[in-house]
Structure 1
Amino acid sequence: MRKATIQIELRKDYVTREGKQMVCLRYTAHRRSTLISLNISVFPKHWNNISKTVRGGIHRCDFYNKTIKEIYNKADNLVMENYFKPLPFPEFMNKLMDRNHGNTDFYTFIEDEIELLKASRASGTIANYYKLINTMKKWRPILSFEDITLDYIQRFHKHELESGNILSTVYKKHSNFKFLVGLAVDKEKLSKNPYEKFEIKKNIKAQNNDVLTEEELKKLQIAYDENKYEEGKHEVLREFLFSCYTSLSFAEFSVLTYDDLKPLQLKDGQTYAMLYNERTKTSVAYKIPIVSPTVVKLLGDGESFQKIFQPLTNQPTNRYLKEIMTDLKIKKTITFHRARHTFRTITAKRGIRDGIAERIMGHAEGNDIKDIYTHLHDEDIIMEMADKWVV
């Protein structure tokens, strides 16, 4: 018996009023040929009949080509699985529409796997997995299992460094991706994990060029006070300075509102504001005292429901920071996360107790400082910061 065949083509017997034609998958088996619409319509001039793809330059062409490739690969697998006994069209169609049957797209597979992991993994870990996948989709919208090779991993490594990420951050992404690829190996979607030939360096020693000194912070503060930069760059500098002074992480900026600022009156009658919220990554509560007029000024004011900050995405934020450091002749490799490192380094130099610094930073409970947390009062945190580090 002759095997079934498939082909991607434009439907020629129907044209829309605009003059567009539908992209279809033709399935031929048992001497019958059927066209299956892919719900994509294009003008003939935008169709490459040799590569069977939508030509670049038109709106959503990447999405269209990703869809075409996914469906073709899945259909091809169905044909090969049933090489000696081709499927009748209804059965072929059912399997083709089954999201999980014969799926060759890594993204589709791994998103289902991540959903299953929610029962056993922390919410912060799950969020990191999704963040990684979304990052990879922007770089490579299409990723089949066969594309996951050592060469792909090396190219991803290079791309992340060129995007402005520091080495330790890139290796953390590798660690997460290695785990996700391992799930594909366990489910026999891949024969082996290419990370067997790629070393993930777990300990990247912090260097002096990844934190700022207090003198360098003053340079940044002066630039901000003098409105040296405009619009987005000015806002990035505001957020970065606030993080250096308070340790607030990039992930927390987008959710912070003025309602998270709570007044706290001390025994001597003085009143300070405290920022209360939970870290997105760990769900551990942080308490940040606002004890300096400089920090108060960075906060601004607004209604309780309003967001305090409107951060850009990570990549343009780090690009602006790089430009600011170059402009102010600060010769250090600085990304937004270095603000937390800067805060921790300065608090240590100022003699602020570890327990208080860690409480402000909202580090995960369950470590050596857990017992210290239970004996710390809000007034202790405020007084120590006001006494030892006021900007």
Structure 2
Amino acid sequence: MIKTIFYLKSDKENNKGESAIYAKISLRGKSTTLATGKYISKERWDFTNKLKNTVRLNPEKVCQQTLERLDSKIESIYLELSKNNYNVTPLEVKNNLTGKTEKIEGLDILKLFDKHNNFFQKRYNAGERSKASLQKYKRARDLIASFIKVKYFKTTFPLIEIDNKFIYSLEDYLKYESSFNGKKGISHNSVVKYFQCFSTMCNYGIKHSIIKYNPFSVYDEKLIITDAVFLTKEELQRIENKEFETDRLNKVKDIFLFSCYTSYAPCDVEKLTKNNLIRDNEGVFWIKTNRAKTNTKSNVPLIPPAKRILDKYEYLDEKKLLPKISNQKINEYLKEIATLCKINKKLTHYVARHTFATTITLGNGVSLENVSSMMGHTRITMTQHYAKVLDENVKNDMEKLKHIYS
């Protein structure tokens, strides 16, 4: 808890020979000092027990009341700041008290976004966040800038002026008017995710004592959960059995299948090296790494089909486990693979991840908790979405009941 002690600074005197009263603010081993603007003689300071006793002189009464109000104000500021940031420092409390922090009234939303994105860039450089996440925040910043320019004919917009009208006009703009790569409008789920970026950016400002509230907290739209696209056992086997005439398609096929058997997303597969391939004491091979998106631990035992794919590329001179192909190219070539294998689904690299969750693991009785751990999910509710689409499991379980009641 924060503690404030008042003391005399003898080297600071007024023309009456009285010493300045200072406050020392202490918290978790850190401290800072603050001038109260009040003076008193050392004799009266000692006689009144540092103004803690009852005083009768009017100047001392005023001085005593000032110190009490200041102590209460410091306590109040600390409690308010600590709601959103456990690691509040005494200097942050002092700056908030004296008005030296950057005021929300004069702070532009794009400047705050730049502060956040610069911070996120440092985390990306340190390997703590993925390139895709960094690009998402940069894109979110550009969308807000575009909205402000189109709707308000401005290049800046004060955070204090962001109200419900601004927020829901921004939603309409993103859904129906914004354009990217020649496509007009953004899907509902993408809009919700961008608003999550806006809210995260503001929460960053609160934690760093730049702003005091999050104007985007009023936005409460939710993601519309749709069934994940995944391959059935038969479709997966069809790709397994297919040999393509071009080397590029065979390589993409192997990368895609490896993802089906391990759940690794594009940004994770690209970073896998031979250092991530571990053999335990029982001879079982594992891929051990952290997910780029969430920075959570993700250890996956290799099943035979995945190990066979890695064995094909042992010849690679570099430390990579698999050939390096951009995610854009992979998705482009997967369209060809889908056509050649007569699979009427839009294949992307993420379909492989969904296939691991459904057909490979949950569909074969692997527990939800273990699947969640292998996929690097931070909440098990993220994995439960896949469990809902496994009608095959429901059918198999009901077949057992039919046998019992037959």
Give TM-score scaled by structure 2 length.
0.48
Larger Rg: 2
Q: Which has the higher helix share?
A: 2
Give TM-score scaled by structure 1 length.
0.50
